[in-house]
Structure 1
Amino acid sequence: MEPMTMLVLAFQLLALFSIAGALLIYLICKVREDSKTCPPEAQPSRVVLVTSADTALGLQLCTHLANKGCRVFAGMKEAHDSLPAKLLCGWMKIREYSEEPISGTIIPMKLDVTREDVLREATVAMGAHLNANERGIAAVINTSGSVFRGRVESQDVQQWEHMLKTNILGTLRVAKAFVAFLRPTRGRLLYLGGSSAGATMGGDGLVAFNASRVAVDKCAEELRKELQPYGVSVVALDTCGMTAESLYKPPVAQVMSDCAGAPTQYTADVLSANALQVIERALWDFAPQERYTLLSHNKYQFTLPCRSSLRVPKQTPSSEAVSPAAKNVQTV
C-alpha cells in the first residue's frame, strides 16, 4: 500500500473514532440530564416514619425533615390530645403562613411499639395515607425507647421490664411491622445505637438500660443480615457522648408570661446542626454506612441551637429579657 493511501486511511479512521467518541459523550450527558429531570413518580421516596415524636429528639427530627421537604409520619402514643400532637399541629399552622412555607408535611399517627394491636392499626393508617403511585416509604427512624436510672438493689423490677419491652422488643416489633414498607423502595431502618466499640452510657444506675442497648445493637446486627438480600439497609446512629436521659426526654413546655391565655412554648433542641446533617447522610447517602456518629467528638456533648429547631419566628420587645435557653421555642 502506498504511503499516501495509508495516510488518507489513517485520517479517515481518526475522524470516524472522533465522531463515535463525540456521540458517546453526548449520549452519556443526555442520560445524566434525563436522570436529573425524571418525573416525580420516578424520584426516590421522601416519606419517612419517626416512631416516636413524644420525645424531644423525635419531635426535632420530624420538624427538621419536614423543613427539608419530607412527608413525615410522626408516631405518638396519643395523636390528638397529647402535648407533642398539639405542638406539631401548631407548628404546621404557623409554617403555613410564614414567608417561606415548607414543602414537607407532618402526619401525626398513633403508634406504640409495645402494643401489637396499635402497630397493626398504624400500618393500615400509613398505607391509607400513601399515594397511589407510592409503593412504600424511604426510611423508618426508631426513636422509641425508655430509660430509668437507679441502682439494682433499689430499682423497681417493673422499670426493668418496661425498658426491656420498649427498647429491645420494640426494636423487633418496629422491624416486623414496617419492613413491608421498606422492601419496595429498598429503604432504610435507622435506630439509636451505642458506640462501635461497644461502650455503654456512663453514670450510675444504668445497668438495665445499658444491657438493653447492647441487646438492641445485636438485634440490629442480625436484622441487617436478614434484610440485606431485600435491599433494606439497617443503620445505627451512634449516640455515644449523649446522656441516656437526652435520648428519650419529652419536649419541655414553657409559659413565657403569667398572663391568662399566654401562648405555650417549648424547646426541643437535642441534636446539633452537625448531628442533623449526619442523619440526613444516613437517610440519603447512595451507599449508606452501617453506623454514623452523631457527635464529632464523643467526649463532648454539643448543645448548639439548630436552625431546624422549633422557635418563635420573631421576639417582641417584651420578650427580650427571656433567657438564652428559651430562645429556640415555638408558639402554639
Structure 2
Amino acid sequence: MTESLTDPDELRPIALITGGGTGIGAAIARRLARDGFEVVVAGRRRDKLDAVVADVASADGVARAVVMDVTDAGSVEAGAAGLDRLDVLVNNAGGALGVTRVEDGDLEQWQQMYATNVLGSVRVVQAALPLLRRSARATIVDISSIAGERVYEGGGGYVAAKHGTSVVTETLRLELNGENIRVIDIRPGMVHTEEFALTRLGGDQAGADRVYAGVDRPLVADDVAECVGFVVGLPQHVNIDTMVIKPVAQAAPWKLHRGPIDWKEA
C-alpha cells in the first residue's frame, strides 16, 4: 500500500471524484482514501454516495458525499461552492448508451453521452480550477476510455463522446502549460462493473452478462483505481499524460479472447 500522504500536523489533501457512487469512481474513492486523502464523492444518487462514504469510514478513511449532476450547471456550482480547497479532481462521471450502427443511432442518447462525458467534465474543471490553482498537489485525472482513441462498430456515439473527453484533456494540458497542475488521461479497456454494460444495454442483464462471458480476468474497478493511485502519488513534476489499461485478454476493442488463459504460477 502506498505510504500515506498526510502528516498529523498538516491538513489532509482533498480529492473530488465525480461519478463516485459506484464502479470505478467508488473504487478510486476507496484507493485515494487509503492514501490519506479526504475524498469527496459526487454523483446523482444519494444512497449510493452514502454507501461509499460508510465503506471508506469503515476502513478508517475520511469521506463525504455531494449530490451533483455534472450536466446541470447549478448543481456543479453548488457542489464546488461547498469546497474551500481542492488538491485532486477525478472526472469519472460518464457512461455509454446503446450499441447501434450510426445509421440507426438514437441522437438523444448521443446528446446525453456528449453532455455527460464531455460537457460535464468541462463544467467540473471550470468550477474546480480556482481551487486547484492554490494547491501544491494540483492534479486533474480524466477517466476516458480506449474508445477515446480507437473506433469500433456499434460504438459511434460513445466513441465520439470519449474522443471528445480525451481531446479536451489534451487541450487543457496545453493551455495549463507553465502552471503546476498535472493533467492526466486514463483510458481503460474492458472493465467488468455492475452497471456499465447494463446501463448501455438498457437494463438487459442477459445481454450485459454476454459482454463479459468467457473473458478470463477482465479488468475490475479496483484495477483502474490502482492506476489512478499510482499517477496521483508520483512526484508533482511527473505527469503521466496518457495511460491505456486493458486486460491481457483484450488486444484491441474488437480483438477479445474468450476462453481460458494459461496463467503461470508466480
Match of 2:76 in 1: 119
Distance 1:216 1:191 in 2: 8
State the shift of 1:211 in Å. Answer: 0.9
Distance 1:117 1:282 in 2: 31
1:226-265 map, 5 Å: 226-239=175-188, 241-242=189-190, 248=196
Higher Cα Rg: structure 1 or 2? 1
Select the residue among 184, 188, 192 that pairs with 2:139.
188
Match of 2:55 in 1: 91
> Is the 1:282–1:292 Cα contact (8 Å) retained in structure 2?
no
**Is the partner of 1:235 in helix, strand or coil?**
strand
Select the residue among 15, 39, 46 that pairs with 1:72.
39
Match of 1:206 in 2: 155
State the shift of 1:159 in Å. Answer: 0.6
Distance 1:288 1:174 in 2: 21
TM-score by length of 2: 0.73
Unaligned 5+ runs, structure 1:
1-35, 96-100, 128-135, 252-268, 302-332
**Is the partner of 2:168 in helix, strand or coil?**
helix
**Deviation digits for residues 255-279 of structure 1 (CA, Å, limit 9, x no counterpart):** xxxxxxxxxxxxxx83344x43321
State the shift of 1:245 in Å. Answer: 7.9
Aligned AA for 1:87? A
State the shift of 1:156 in Å. Answer: 2.2
> Is the 1:147–1:245 Cα contact (8 Å) retained in structure 2?
no
Match of 2:30 in 1: 63
CA distance 1:289–1:76, change in 2 (3 Å): same
**Is the partner of 1:212 in helix, strand or coil?**
helix
Match of 1:292 in 2: 243
Distance 1:185 1:230 in 2: 11
Percent same amino acid at aligned positions? 20
1:281 aligns with 2:230: yes
**Is the partner of 1:229 in helix, strand or coil?**
coil
**Deviation digits for residues 45-94 of structure 1 (CA, Å, limit 9, x no counterpart):** 62111011233111121122223332100001133xx3x1342254256x
**Deviation digits for residues 118-157 of structure 1 (CA, Å, limit 9, x no counterpart):** 1110011122xxxxxxxx3221011111211222333322
**Deviation digits for residues 82-113 of structure 1 (CA, Å, limit 9, x no counterpart):** 3x1342254256x1xxxxx52x2110101111
CA distance 1:243–1:154, change in 2 (3 Å): farther
Distance 1:50 1:272 in 2: 15
Distance 2:240 2:109 in 1: 34
> Is the 2:20–2:43 Cα contact (8 Å) retained in structure 1?
yes
Match of 1:145 in 2: 94
Distance 1:244 1:199 in 2: 19
State the shift of 1:174 in Å. Answer: 1.4
Alignment RMSD (CA, Å) = 3.1
Aligned AA for 1:219? V
Match of 2:213 in 1: none
Aligned residues: 225
CA distance 1:246–1:233, change in 2 (3 Å): farther
Match of 2:203 in 1: none
> Is the 1:193–1:216 Cα contact (8 Å) retained in structure 2?
yes
State the shift of 1:199 in Å. Answer: 1.9
Distance 1:229 1:244 in 2: 38
Distance 1:172 1:119 in 2: 11
CA distance 1:178–1:68, change in 2 (3 Å): same
1:40 aligns with 2:40: no
1:52 aligns with 2:4: no
Aligned AA for 1:62? A
CA distance 1:88–1:185, change in 2 (3 Å): same
> Is the 1:191–1:235 Cα contact (8 Å) retained in structure 2?
yes
Select the residue among 118, 132, 137 that pairs with 1:168.
118
**Is the partner of 2:183 in helix, strand or coil?**
strand
Match of 2:216 in 1: none
State the shift of 1:243 in Å. Answer: 5.5
